[in-house]
Structure 1
Amino acid sequence: MYRTEPVESYYTGWLDRPHGHRLYLEQSGNPNGIPVLMCHGGPGGGSSPFQRTLFDPQQYRIVLFDQRGCGQSTPFACISHNTTAELIGDIEAIRQLLGIEQWVVAGGSWGSTLALAYAQQYPERCLGLILRGIFLGRPEDIDWLYRPGGGASQLFPDYYADFFAPVAALKGLDILVAYQQLLQHPDAAIQLQAAKAWSLWEARVATLLPNTAMRDGALEPESALPLARIENHYFLHHCFLRPNQLLEDVAQVKHLPCYIVHGRYDSVCKMENAWSLHQTWPDSVLTIVSNAGHSASETGISRALYDASLLLARRLGDPC
């Protein structure tokens, strides 16, 4: 039965990684269940107890972690030695630490990018995938959300004006380069002001209907700064992926079951992303939620993800 209250974690721990990074991780659900790793969004968004509600805790051993520089991981908002390849290495290190032979890999938004990239590199370690709000990391996907003339800026011109305001004086610079100058400025107050504008833009467009709590949370320094700094870092480097890498490498994972959930009115990650992935991976199961945008917190999205976890558990068989 779907539950809106998260189960308690039965394990929390830390994993020391090269170059001073320390990762927070936790486990909840059934210790003898199907292992599932949840990759949070952003990059830089951090994990949350809510993510435990997306899987049946009686059937799944739920593993959450905070990626480099965000959540409870340290150093805070750090972009040094923070790349997709290093995150994939972190995931493998977590799997080995926890003694897991194979697991389901799940993720939403940027988490779908990371889950796909990991699975394509380590398909033998994966039982299947559950993906939400597909972000393929292509130049056009970054342009859609951040650059003037992108789709989101035309859907929400008033919100985009607020997003653009902090860099308006930096004429002649690409908007991501301009934000980089502010987010890496020596003055912490300038960093935070830019981070709040960046984070608020995303929160405003992430749900079909306005979500006041999400917008208020976006302005908290402990969430805004790592989200903005790390996202800006990744998107300036094209997510450290080859152009169209995730679609070109689907052949590596086509044999695995995959469930895709995407909101019909997703303005952060356009629905074409999910459609293109599904067309490239015909055996995947695509659920389009007709009354939702991007956020996993929207009821239709969270229920569809939970239902996907049940369907995948049935395909994999009872682990107990």
Structure 2
Amino acid sequence: MTERRGLFPPCDPYREGWLRVSDRHRIYYQEAGNPDGKPALILHGGPGGSIADYMRRLHDPAAYRIVLFDQRGCGRSEPHAGIADNTTWHLVADIEALRRLLGIERWQVMGGSWGSTLGLAYAESHPEAVSELILRGIFLMSEEELRWFYQSGASLILPEVFAAFAAPIPPAERGDMLAAYHRRLFGPDPEERLTCARAWSRWEGAALSLLPDPAREDDFETPEVAVALARLECHYFVNRGFFPEADWLLKQAPRLSGIPVRLVQGRYDLVTPMIGAHRLARALPHAVLRVVPDAGHSGTEPGIIDAVVRATEDLSPRGASRAKASAPPPDPQAPRIPDAAPSRTQRTKT
């Protein structure tokens, strides 16, 4: 085995601010790395997560201009945990508004977990604005995935933890956990709302990585984290991501035919199981899928960090220069092969 890559050194933002995106919402954003570097946008998970310091360390700060933002209702964006005017398509529009504000023509888009969902939705809506995609912990917002994590699947592997997740819900309502949680997370009783938010969030925190992390589980149960994560995830999931039809992301995949794609998936991911990455890789034959054999879902597991950092290095300007320098010179005696005609998807791509 080759030595695993680690994170780049700590990298503080050189710019931060808020962007007003509607009468209700303003989003917090930050930039780090090299202001003249290759633009790269990083999308956090959830819905309901937020920017984390380690995310700025997945790219070489000398080569990349790194952009992050807290999505509507998340982190330092306002209002906290707000669900009004908060859908996938509002977030896609926010990304475009941020790109225009920062004067960026095209950027690399990276996202993990829900960030992979949003990254796909954005790239399929605006392929002309995306130079490459790096997606981790693939989540397609399918019925299969939602049932796996919130109904039956992961519950068979972590039954004692799932029992605690199910505890706030009366047995008669456990046939549809998403609907039962939605009634309580948005119900009139503030004590019940907080109890359910903490149970929801702790379930996710316990399932994130291959090895347990009690400190993370405790952090996920704090009210500030739990309320945003539970309310926004449940809001998005009962509405199936606000997509117009099932498997919308896979059906739109041909729009990405001209964009380099790197996929990273933990083999033992309990939150967004391997089937999503497998299906996406089949829909994107040009994508490179790397399966990490000793990882779950968390973006901070060593094997996941290694795979993601290798992808950012390969796609960096320095990586492209190294690849060009190591390529063999063309053979002047070799016959010329005519350029292939563009495919139908390339001709019709907008």
TM-score (norm 2): 0.87
Match of 1:193 in 2: 195
> Which aligned pairs between 1:1-320 and structure 2 lie closer than 5 A?
2-3=6-7, 5-147=9-151, 150-168=152-170, 171=173, 174-241=176-243, 242-314=245-317, 317=320
Q: Could you say what secondary structure the match of 1:118 adopts?
A: helix
Percent of residue pairs identical = 46
- Is contact 2:166-2:174 (8 Å) kept? no
Task: State the AA in 2 paired with 1:26.
Answer: Q
Q: CA deviation at 1:2?
A: 4.2
Task: State the AA in 1 paired with 2:241.
Answer: C
Task: State the AA in 1 paired with 2:64.
Answer: Y
Task: State the AA in 1 paired with 2:276.
Answer: N
Task: State the AA in 2 paired with 1:126.
Answer: V
- 2: CA distance, partners of 1:162 / 1:6: 37
- 2: CA distance, partners of 1:232 / 1:253: 29
Alignment deviations for residues 167-195 of structure 1 (CA, whole Å, 9 cap, x no partner) = 12563762111111211122322211111
Q: CA deviation at 1:56?
A: 1.2
- Is contact 2:117-2:140 (8 Å) kept? yes
TM-score (norm 1): 0.95
- 1: CA distance, partners of 2:68 / 2:10: 13
Alignment deviations for residues 78-128 of structure 1 (CA, whole Å, 9 cap, x no partner) = 111110010000000000011101000110000000000000000000001
- 1: CA distance, partners of 2:172 / 2:15: 47
Query: Which is higher, the Rg of structure 1 or of structure 2?
Result: 2
Size of the alignment, in residue pairs?
316
- Structure 1 gaps of 5+ residues are none
Q: Could you say what secondary structure the match of 1:167 adopts?
A: coil
- Structure 2 gaps of 5+ residues are 322-350
- 2: CA distance, partners of 1:230 / 1:94: 21
Q: Could you say what secondary structure the match of 1:6 adopts?
A: coil
- 1: CA distance, partners of 2:101 / 2:68: 13
- Is contact 2:20-2:27 (8 Å) kept? yes
- 2: CA distance, partners of 1:166 / 1:2: 40
Shift in CA distance, 86/316, structure 1 to aligned 2, threshold 3 Å: farther
- Is contact 2:108-2:130 (8 Å) kept? yes
Q: Could you say what secondary structure the match of 2:303 adopts?
A: helix
